[in-house]
Chain A
């Protein structure tokens, strides 16, 4: 077996040093009834080329985004990742390092995390950011819990524009909490949340651009929340939007959570992704997740360490701010490399290009008979209403090789009001030809469906 270094004679020699008759003797604490008492019936080990054949066959059964026109977004976005990013993250010293608990021999990872925290703080306009969380959805749940700890109040209001999966994750984390208010889906961009804030409100959660693509007025939300002593949690699933939109920190946000996948990370069928979390300085001690900080070594040289770790589970145990153990280190590295390649100039240009293509998409969709665009504002994603249920149309287009977006009914199956809606995204990778083909196919599918 190519991954196991011992020869048979070495194993025998080692057993001799141990003084064990055979390897089973090392498992003597295992009850007899449970030790090797079965035939697994699993295939035997295979050479590399056969494993590769097997995996390639599975991969070939999937329609990759790059195989044709692609407009799927809804919380995960297809952007171009520079070749440098993937090359660098596969370097041994990044890929196969552990959590930097021994700072003297982990300065690479630690300095990178410090740079990452700085980048996230800058793009969100917040004082501090942590070293990443699992993803945007769990990050949102963590932000909600953090707000409850900070305010010592209970009511949480989720905007109807919040990604339905994010809402469901918050519901799972706050199971049976009578003070959790989830507003109904707001595909038209209805302003619904401000009237819900009262003196018992810990936080309101507002996504922008929201799930349906609308841009939300964060300043108004922050002012309303703060007037009642509540916090504003801002959720951003398309982090590229920050290249063009005002940073939430400048508008009064108290906690910002982003899905950072768009920068540096592939679609990967939903994971691994990258949760970004940033907040105000005074809230650091209630923030979950790892933090990297600057210090000096015994010789006075600048260096970095994980810090404020007394918030974490391995020390506080049942009193920890969260049970989180890992972050999303390698995805954070990919984000940080891509972001440093972009820089302010590139990040802004990338965002502009996304919006530019989305405007073209919106205009073209407007020419398709029967299609209604619901957005007055958007960044790179929008919602359309069809005269017919959306899911079969999307399926029909997929058969024609066009991945046309997400029928909202896939995420809100019990809500008849959204049955005809599709959420579509454009990115820098969307071409004019893609948009034309989408419009043609959509037109044909609606006509066919109508007959």
Chain B
């Protein structure tokens, strides 16, 4: 039995003492349940006796078996765990379609002002006028940057905003006697959330093929449109990193057919302050505050996905929203006989609103446009430096904020896209997005964002070029074995899925393993 640093036995499956695992500064760390126990606690609370309980006989009679840690133990546990993570603060994170930009710490400081963090969503609105003003200011920035008529702030994330936007389209069409529109057009290159959202609302998804140059053909859209089509869901700039050159014509055709144009705003970072989606004819678009406006990704959320709406959809915005009243700002939380009530409890991701507005004020209108242009400049720079070594599937247009390569340069090398990505880890880089978009074989989507310096971009390109050269030179072993310098080597995902172990069990609780 292996022992952890606390001298307690570790759980089954641990072999933390092997030579390959852990290193001097990044040690392996046992599970908290293997460190603590039910008597340890890192919180001092007075012990009270309740002489007359009002628990109605529902008191817990069993033990939870919930391990605790004292404060120094907890500090060490979570600091040690953290060191096994890559992060944007410690290195480039060129994940296409994810916009991993710098997260300014002023945002964090402002979000923690008690006037924002220590206010309750249901305390009287007269006591939260500053919060409502902040929501108004954020709305103003979003509406100005997109040139749209209304914004619903409350969605909790991009996919949630997308759901809300499509709900608004459905509500508008139901109200107009157009409930027979049951088809949603989705280009093949779309994010997985688009068809998932459409299907969720009961729509039939009809794919629209892309042209050979990676953009959507207005003629293909026209051919797919019919009186049954409710909307098109189009990402622009698209997931291949290209601006749709016929987007205005597409919007026109969609509107002529009585349908709406939902724009997936995941890639807004490429055009903020430079192009206003409202000028392109969109009817609804979600904006990922955690991508474009720098609220931290936090290891997978929380996000925030406000949705801007055109004049036609504005009446179908959900509650709550802020409006000016006689005694200051009012929060409208109910509208009688409203088509679309609410998509979340309370008022959405206030903590994210504070961070996003702080970011906007820091940049100003000029800085946001500069950031978008730098993001595009950086992606084109990577493309220019690597296009002679890597293969570019859609060379006709300049790329926007992300550079797309395919895996044809790896043909006959015995190295897969995945292997290549894992080798990047050994060179200190987080891999790019792989195998997305699906329309490109072995896609590698690189999004540097505006936050990377030229020096970092050059180093990234040097490493990529060296890896590609090595792969072509037949050194496949370096790639298939990678990573070897990370806290873990490649993990057995088949085992994880075939015999799911989704929580820790006390070793004694485990059934006898069949040998």
Contacts and interface: CB of A to CB of B under 8 A. Distances in A.
A310 B367 CA distance: 40
B398 A20 contact: yes
Interface string A83-123: 01010111111111111101111111101101101110111
B163 interface: yes
A88 B83 CA distance: 12
Interface size class of B (residues with CB under 8 A): 35 or more
A271 B346 contact: yes
B511 interface: no
B64 A122 contact: yes
Nearest to A54: B361
B344 interface: yes
A327 B301 contact: yes
A206 B55 CA distance: 17
Nearest to A103: B491
Nearest to B67: A343
A89 B491 CA distance: 26
Nearest to B200: A323
Contacts of A379: 55
A171 B58 contact: no
Given A175-B167, A344-B65, A346-B41, 9 more contacts: A31-B245, A40-B273, A104-B490, A106-B299, A168-B342, A268-B111, A340-B67, A353-B46, A411-B122
Interface in B326-367: 333-334, 336, 340-352, 354, 357-358, 360-367
Given A37-B279, A346-B41, A109 B300 contact: yes
B503 A121 contact: yes
**Majority DSSP secondary structure for residues of B touching A:** loop
A448 interface: no
A168 B336 CA distance: 13
Given A52-B106, A118-B33, A301-B16, A341 B69 contact: yes
A259 B345 CA distance: 10
A140 B79 CA distance: 33
B67 to A, nearest CB: 6
A451 interface: no
B347 A40 contact: no
Interface in B116-134: 116-124, 126-131, 133-134
Nearest to B483: A104
A96 B89 contact: yes
Nearest to B105: A90
Q: Which 3 A-B pairs have the closest CB atoms?
A: A343-B68, A59-B115, A330-B298
B36 interface: yes
Contacts of B413: none
B54 A378 contact: yes
B351 A268 contact: yes
Given A303-B491, A337-B74, A359-B52, A135 B344 contact: yes
B302 A326 contact: yes
A431 interface: no
Given A97-B85, A293-B500, A305 B42 contact: no
B175 to A, nearest CB: 12
Given A43-B365, A247-B60, A341-B68, A271 B83 contact: no
